[in-house]
């Protein structure tokens, strides 16, 4: 009996010591981070808006951390090449992943036999920025609101056409979501990129497009008509344009966002430190202006908020892709 009591006491002491050591390790990992240069992996080619937001984050965190923060582009196979690279990296916060939650979710749904899970293989760190897509029509289309476009589609089933930057791209899925929520049917005309899709709309080859902010100058010039933005709230970039949701399609919310992920298992205090640094950067007026120039607005969030948003996006787009029968081009 005495031996058993001694053993129990020893186990309790061992458990307590282990907890103290774990806490000490956690604290030291956060305080000593980063201990070497940090890489931000971007799944898109250089020059795009997501790449630009990564470079803004890299610049500001490097200044605060007194360590180089480098942006490395790994495009290809949707976003899966970059995502697989980050998922297999050491979970110490020195390899980060800036991606768009929609692109991340769509790639996970379209590509098979991936080496990672879109949610559980990553630690959500921070949301960086958000932007609306804009539902625009050619002026020849007799619709001045989302409801009028829906009524037109119901009166002419399968007659209205829309351009997108490609099958499985966010604007394509946003249009499919609109069709699903309104019980309508549109004809999808995919193009190889945003620019040729916009050119087709300007030339009246299609009726409408869910476009990015590159369409705004054409709206202001009277070459296109904006019906709504796709975000849940109006955008500060174009506050005069209503949302799809307030235009009679409740629940419609398709933001173009960027955020930072890390490999699963990255210490929570390291995640918290990165999150705090990024949120401080997003509060700087110069950073806001630079993001605005790319069509983005700062969108700070806690790791928990961004993680919940990411998981929701993965579920939402898997459902849309399954119901619409979307396949890779």
How confident is the prediction for the chain on average, in pLDDT?
90
User: What average pLDDT does the segment 209-235 reach?
Assistant: 94
Evaluate if residue 12 carries a pLDDT over 60: no
List the chain domain ranges: 36-131+255-324, 134-247
pLDDT band at 20 (very low <50, low <70, confident <90, very high): very low
| Under 8 Å between Cβ of 161 and 187 | yes
C-alpha–C-alpha distance, residues 213 and 296, integer Å: 9
Evaluate if residue 200 carries a pLDDT over 60: yes
What is residue 324's three-state secondary structure?
helix
Same fold, 36-131+255-324 and 134-247: yes
Tell me what percent of the residues of the chain surpass a pLDDT of 70: 91
Whether CATH 3.40.190.10 fits 134-247: yes
Evaluate if residue 127 carries a pLDDT over 60: yes
Evaluate if residue 8 carries a pLDDT over 60: no
Tell me what percent of the residues of the chain surpass a pLDDT of 90: 77
pLDDT of residue 29: 57
Query: At which residue do the structure tokens 């991340």 appear?
Result: 104
pLDDT of residue 325: 86
Evaluate if residue 215 carries a pLDDT over 50: yes
User: What average pLDDT does the segment 22-31 reach?
Assistant: 53
Report which secondary-structure segment, H or E, holds 176: helix 170-182
Evaluate if residue 278 carries a pLDDT over 90: yes
C-alpha–C-alpha distance, residues 160 and 243, integer Å: 21
Q: Quick one: tokens of 39?
A: 């890489």
Evaluate if residue 23 carries a pLDDT over 70: no
CA dihedral 109, 111, 115, 120 (to 10 degrees): -10
C-alpha–C-alpha distance, residues 143 and 62, integer Å: 49
Evaluate if residue 249 carries a pLDDT over 80: yes
pLDDT of residue 190: 93
pLDDT of residue 268: 98
pLDDT of residue 1: 46
Evaluate if residue 2 carries a pLDDT over 60: no
Lowest mean pLDDT segment, chosen from 6-20, 48-62, 65-79, 287-301: 6-20
62-117: pLDDT as tens digits: 999 999 999 999 999 989 999 999 999 999 999 999 999 999 999 999 999 999 99
Evaluate if residue 142 carries a pLDDT over 60: yes
Lowest mean pLDDT segment, chosen from 28-32, 145-149, 251-255, 262-266: 28-32
Evaluate if residue 219 carries a pLDDT over 90: yes
pLDDT of residue 34: 97
Q: Quick one: tokens of 321?
A: 């892709």
**What string of DSSP letters covers 26-59?**
HHHHHHT--SS-EEEEESS-TTSHHHHHHHHHHH
Hey, what CATH class is 36-131+255-324 in?
alpha beta
């Amino acid at each position: 009996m005495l031996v058993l009591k001694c053993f129990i006491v020893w186990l309790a002491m061992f458990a307590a010591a282990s907890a103290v050591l774990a806490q000490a390790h956690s604290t030291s990992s956060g305080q000593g981070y980063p201990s070497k240069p940090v890489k931000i992996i971007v799944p898109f080619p250089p020059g795009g808006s997501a790449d630009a937001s990564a470079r803004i984050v890299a610049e500001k965190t490097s200044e605060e951390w007194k360590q180089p923060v480098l942006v490395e582009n790994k495009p290809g196979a949707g976003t899966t090449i970059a995502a697989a690279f980050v998922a297999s990296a050491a979970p110490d916060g020195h390899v980060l992943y800036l991606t768009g939650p929609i692109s991340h979710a769509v790639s996970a749904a379209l590509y098979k036999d991936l080496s990672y899970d879109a949610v559980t293989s990553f630690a959500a760190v921070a949301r960086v920025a958000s932007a609306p897509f804009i539902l625009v029509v050619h002026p020849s289309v007799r619709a001045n609101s989302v409801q009028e476009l829906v009524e037109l589609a119901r009166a002419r089933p399968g007659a209205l056409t829309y351009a997108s930057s490609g099958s499985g791209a966010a604007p394509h899925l946003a249009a499919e979501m609109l069709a699903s929520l309104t019980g309508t049917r549109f004809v999808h005309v995919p193009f190889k990129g945003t620019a040729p899709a916009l050119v087709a709309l300007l030339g009246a080859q299609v009726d409408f497009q869910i476009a990015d902010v590159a369409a705004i100058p054409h709206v202001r010039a009277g070459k296109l008509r904006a019906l709504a933005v796709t975000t849940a709230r109006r955008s500060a970039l174009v506050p005069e344009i209503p949302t799809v949701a307030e235009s009679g399609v409740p629940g419609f919310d398709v933001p173009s966002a960027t955020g930072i992920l890390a490999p699963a298992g990255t210490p929570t205090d390291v995640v918290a430190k990165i999150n705090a640094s990024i949120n401080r950067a997003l509060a700087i007026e110069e950073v806001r202006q630079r993001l605005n120039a790319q069509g983005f607005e700062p969108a700070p969030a806690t790791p928990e908020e961004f993680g919940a948003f990411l998981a929701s996006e993965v579920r939402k787009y898997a459902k849309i892709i399954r119901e619409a029968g979307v396949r890779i081009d």
